[in-house]
Structure 1
Amino acid sequence: MIDALLRPPETRVDYLADAVRALSVLSVVAALVLLGPVETALFLLVLLGLLVSRSLSVLPGFDTVYGLVLLTAAWSSVADLYARISWWDLAVHCASTGVLAVVAYFLLVQFGAVPAIQRPHRASRSLPVVVPLLVLSLGLGMSVLWEIGEWWGNTYVDARIHVGYVDTMTDLAAGGLGALVGGLCLGSAVRRSGALLTAPAPHHTGR
């Protein structure tokens, strides 16, 4: 993972994804100078998430989308868009959970928790079905943890954090939908390639 994290960008897609990461660094600086510690911590978490995706060598193009979604979610909180636009919270829940669940799946591949098939194999016929189900499960699990975090924050940190039965259920539904869409997209990529992407091989540099 360290080798993948430190490798230089090679394609336009790589450069675009790194440009989004640069925006996250600028967001951290802006929060540190102009906003406050809570916002700074928020953007540091976003930056950490973008470094994780780079270390996993995820699908080309997905890295950029993932970064833009996380940055949008963070800046939406800073700009209070969730309160200003009634449907924005559900839209961001859907998109964020979708991309985070896919990254979580790649993380499981990296550590060998799910199969990584290098060549077309008869077992790969089931992967376009299994992959979406696994990503959906990851997304639902992450959504539940998020809602527990919101409850904890409302109870022990700030009562202004909105919680409630309707809010919780709609957030879970939106997160599940996003994870399902993300899983179907990843399953489609598996179907087209005939095999699941493997964990990235170490990158060796000459001396």
Structure 2
Amino acid sequence: MIDALLRRPRLPGDVAPDGVRALGLGSLLAAAAWFGPVETALFALVMLGLLILRALAVPAVLDAAGGAVLLLAAWSSVADLYARISWWDIAVHLAATGALAAMGYLLLARLKAVPDPQGPAGVRAFRTVVVLLVTAVGLALSVVWEFGEWWGHTYIDSRINVGYDDTLGDLLAGGIGSVAAGLALTMGRRGVSPAAAASRDGRRPASNRS
């Protein structure tokens, strides 16, 4: 994981994910310069998530999309979009929880606590297990997220929306997003050559010498 975090971009597909990370760093610096400590802490957490995505060496499309979703969720809070647009909270919970569920599952896979999502290709039962486990991770993170919203509403800003309907809607959206993330993980590297996958993981491609 450390090798993947520190590697230089090798493939054209690395440009977009690292571009998102650059935007994350810019957002963190902007928050520190022009916003308050709450916003700075928020973007620091987002930046941590962006670095974890790089360390996990996820497929470039998932890396860029996941990072963009985390940035969108943070800026939506700063711009107060959750209060201005009635359906925005549900949409962001669906997308962001999916991204976080994928990150959490891949981290567990690197620690060998759960199966690698790119395991036996074409085995339907295996893919089903992965999707169910990713969904479980996402639902657990959704509960933590809702607790964080309650804590923020109680101790930081009473404008943060909480309540029974809001919580159930957020949990449902998070579950749907997690199912989608699980499906994406099981298909994430189809069509990727071994050399490209090794390059993204920070490894040298295997030699075919006999």
Fold-level match, TM-score > 0.5? yes
**SS class of match (2:60):** coil
Q: Which deviates further from its counterpart, 77-86 or 153-162?
A: 153-162
* TM superposition shift of 1:192: 7.4
**Aligned residues between the structures:** 199
Unaligned 5+ segments in structure 1 are none
Are the counterparts in 2 of residues 140 and 179 from structure 1 also a CA contact under 8 Å?
A: yes
The residue number in structure 2 matching 1:110 is 110
Give the Cα–Cα distance (whole angstroms) in 2 for the partners of residues 161 and 176 of structure 1.
Answer: 21
The residue number in structure 1 matching 2:170 is 171
The residue number in structure 2 matching 1:127 is 126
1:75 correspondence with 2:75: yes
* TM superposition shift of 1:171: 0.6
1:43-65 Cα deviation digits (max 9, x unpaired)? 11100000001001012211000
Give the Cα–Cα distance (whole angstroms) in 2 for the partners of residues 144 and 33 of structure 1.
Answer: 32
Q: Letter of the 2:175 partner, please give it.
A: G
- Mapping 1:144-159, distance limit 5 Å: 144-159=143-158
When normalised by structure 2's length, the TM-score is 0.86
Alignment root-mean-square deviation, CA: 2.4
The residue number in structure 2 matching 1:40 is 40
Are the counterparts in 2 of residues 129 and 187 from structure 1 also a CA contact under 8 Å?
A: no
When normalised by structure 1's length, the TM-score is 0.87
1:60-85 Cα deviation digits (max 9, x unpaired)? 21100011101111111111111111
Give the Cα–Cα distance (whole angstroms) in 2 for the partners of residues 185 and 62 of structure 1.
Answer: 8
1:139 correspondence with 2:138: yes
* TM superposition shift of 1:163: 1.1
The residue number in structure 1 matching 2:95 is 95
- Mapping 1:13-28, distance limit 5 Å: 13-28=13-28
Give the Cα–Cα distance (whole angstroms) in 2 for the partners of residues 30 and 125 of structure 1.
Answer: 46
The residue number in structure 1 matching 2:207 is none
1:64-112 Cα deviation digits (max 9, x unpaired)? 0011101111111111111111100100000000111011111011000
Give the Cα–Cα distance (whole angstroms) in 1 for the partners of residues 17 and 121 of structure 2.
Answer: 32
Unaligned 5+ segments in structure 2 are 205-210
Identity of aligned residues (%): 55
